[in-house]
Amino acid sequence: MSKSVETGRLSTFAAAMVVARRDFTAILFSRSFLFFLLGPLFPVVVAVMAGGVGQRVQTSAETPRIGIAMSGEDALRMTTARDSLAGSAGIPLPDMRVIAEVRPGEAFDARARLAKADTTAILSGTPASPVLTGPQRWVEEWRGPVSLIAAQAEGNGPRDYAKVETQVVVAKRGESRSGRLKTAQGAQTLLFLLMMILAGMVLSNLVEEKGNKIIEILAAAIPMDAVFFGKLFAMLGVSFVGIAVWGSMVGALVLAAGSALPSLPAPAVGWPLLFALGVVYFAMAYLLVGSLFLAIGSLATTVREVQTMSMPVTMLQLINFFFASFAMTEAGSGLEIAAIVIPFSSPFAMLARAALDPGLVPHVLAIAWQLVCVVVFVKLGSRLFRKRVMQSGPAPVRQRRKLLSRLRTARG
The pLDDT value recorded for residue 396 is 46
251-273 residue pLDDT tens: 776 676 554 455 677 888 888 99
In terms of phi and psi (left: phi > 0; alpha: psi -120 to 50; beta: otherwise), the region of 43 is alpha
pLDDT, tens only, 307-326: 677 777 778 888 988 999 88
Say what the pLDDT of residue 212 is. Answer: 60
What pLDDT does 347 receive?
95
CA-wise closest residue to 205 among 177, 239, 249? 239
CA count, 13 A, side-chain hemisphere, 44: 3
> What fold does the segment set 63-168 form as a domain?
Rossmann fold (3.40.50)
Cβ neighbours of residue 94 closer than 8 Å, sequence gap 6 or more: 64, 65, 66, 121, 142, 145, 146
Mean pLDDT of all residues belonging to the chain: 77
Give the integer Cα–Cα distance in Å for 167 and 334: 32
User: Hey, where are the domains in the chain?
Assistant: 3-36+176-400, 63-168
Q: Where are the strands (E) in 349-388, listed by range?
A: none
Task: Please give the average pLDDT of every successive group of 10 residues along the chain, which has 412 residues.
Answer: 48 83 81 69 51 52 75 90 79 84 83 72 89 85 87 74 80 58 87 83 65 66 81 86 82 63 75 93 90 73 68 82 88 87 93 90 94 89 70 48 58 59
